[in-house]
Amino acid sequence: MDSYTLNGVTNYAKLSRVALDWAHETTTYHVRHRRGRGTAFRGRRAFPGRSRPWAMDVCIIGGTGLISTGIARQAVDAGHDVTAFHRGETDADLPDAVSHVHGDRNDAADLERVAEAVDPDVVVDMVCFDPEQAESAVAAFDGVDQYVFCSTVDVYHRPLDANPATEDAAREPPVSDYGENKAECEDIFMAAHGDAFQTTVIRPWSTYGEGGPVIHTMGWGTYYLDRIRRGEPVIVHGDGATLWGPCHRDDVAGAFVGALGNEDAYGEAYHVTTEEVISWNQYHEYVADAMDAPDPELVAIPTDQLVAVAPDRTDPLLDHFQFSTVFDNSKAKRDLGFEYTVSFREGVERTIDWLEEHDVIDDWDAENDDAIIAAWRDATDSFVETLAE
């Protein structure tokens, strides 16, 4: 595993590609045979006759997150040289073939130095969340062949105008600050398309997998799984009939790898989401089945009431979970070879197994769900009794 740290003292690098000089505590990189920034793209066709692409130098900004680790593994398996640029603060289970560069993507100088040091053909940006970050990235990586930006389906207004939504669905008004910022980042990268580099935008939805949580109405707390396992009542918003669609990170990652050097993906945006849309009631039933637990006791509580009593825990519910959403993946299947191969039942069992193996499932009573449930039941009982009198 090769690694080196920007603005660090100890540095290890791909010596066949990069010569290192350092003075004081700042590393200066001298790159051999590098094309100039802003020069024309290499112009090679990635998929001649739709065949496998050549080996490329791929720089993943992020590299240690849930989707990033899947991309890194599959890109290595596809024969690409992969470098992960991250802060070095998160351990990740990555192949030894992945090189690591430590630095801060919010530091424009770090971005410039990693661009010079790694000299990537393709950049995959997994941690760009605001327009300032996007603008710095365009400046730093001007001249690479392709820039693949991880966006989100949160760029769309909710509720959707129609299901399933295609990539040209309405954005305004934005559903959240997060979605609005991601949409602005998309616009910046697309404005750079054909000038600084070729741009590809990929919009995942609800991605899960080993190393990540299992979401639920009240957020990401793992105590939910202990409640399911013990047969304790579980809160579901509304009547549990709204639609949701988790997609395992291995399938999402496969689409990103399918975009690398793929001319069909240049200047395009893609949904990469589930092909197995289920209700929230079904979602909880699948989780219970995966844990060999009793049928879940679901307590349906209106969304507005949950937001009123637990505002610090219900942002995802307010912005996303309460809406039925379905996204059309046909474009990604056509151009990127996207396939939905991991069913939610299989994937959630794998995810729960990982959480259990790492002993990170909290106790069932770690949050105040029981108090919320008791108060709601008392209120509804009183409502029924009053009308029955």
pLDDT band of residue 384 (cuts 50, 70, 90) is: confident
| Model confidence, pTM | 0.86
Block residue for tokens 């009308």: 387
| Residues near 388 by beta carbon (within 8 Å), at least 6 away in sequence | none
Q: How far apart are CA 236 and CA 224, in angstroms?
A: 11
Q: Is the pLDDT of residue 347 over 90?
A: yes
Nearest to 222 by CA among 362, 343, 118: 362
What pLDDT is attached to residue 44? 39
| Residues near 96 by beta carbon (within 8 Å), at least 6 away in sequence | 1
What pLDDT is attached to residue 26? 25
Question: How many other C-beta atoms can be found within 10 angstroms of the C-beta atom of residue 339?
Answer: 14
Q: Are 139 and 108 in contact (CB under 8 A)?
A: yes
| Residues near 23 by beta carbon (within 8 Å), at least 6 away in sequence | none
pLDDT band of residue 230 (cuts 50, 70, 90) is: very high
Name the architecture of domain 3-388: 3-Layer(aba) Sandwich (3.40)
Token couple for 350: 């794998």
- Share of the chain residues as helix, strand and coil, in percent rounded to the nearest 5: 35, 20, 45
pLDDT band of residue 90 (cuts 50, 70, 90) is: confident
Could you tell me how many residues make up the chain? 389
What pLDDT is attached to residue 106? 94
Q: Could you tell me which residue, 44 or 204, shows the higher pLDDT?
A: 204
- What number is the average pLDDT over the span 138-150? 97
Q: How far apart are CA 307 and CA 286, in angstroms?
A: 25
pLDDT band of residue 30 (cuts 50, 70, 90) is: very low
pLDDT band of residue 4 (cuts 50, 70, 90) is: very low
- What pLDDT, in 10s, does the model give residues 160-185? 999 999 999 999 999 999 999 999 99
Residue 32 pairs with which residues in a beta bridge?
A: none
Q: Is the pLDDT of residue 23 over 80?
A: no
- In Å, what is the CA distance from 64 to each residue of 67, 69, 271? 8, 5, 22
What pLDDT is attached to residue 217? 97
- When computed from its CA atoms, the radius of gyration of the chain, rounded to whole angstroms, is 23
- What number is the average pLDDT over the span 368-373? 98
Task: Please measure the distance between the N-terminal and C-terminal CA atoms of the chain and give it in whole angstroms.
Answer: 74
Q: Are 129 and 185 in contact (CB under 8 A)?
A: yes
Nearest to 284 by CA among 274, 271, 298: 298
Q: Are 122 and 261 in contact (CB under 8 A)?
A: yes
Q: Where are the domains of the chain?
A: 3-388
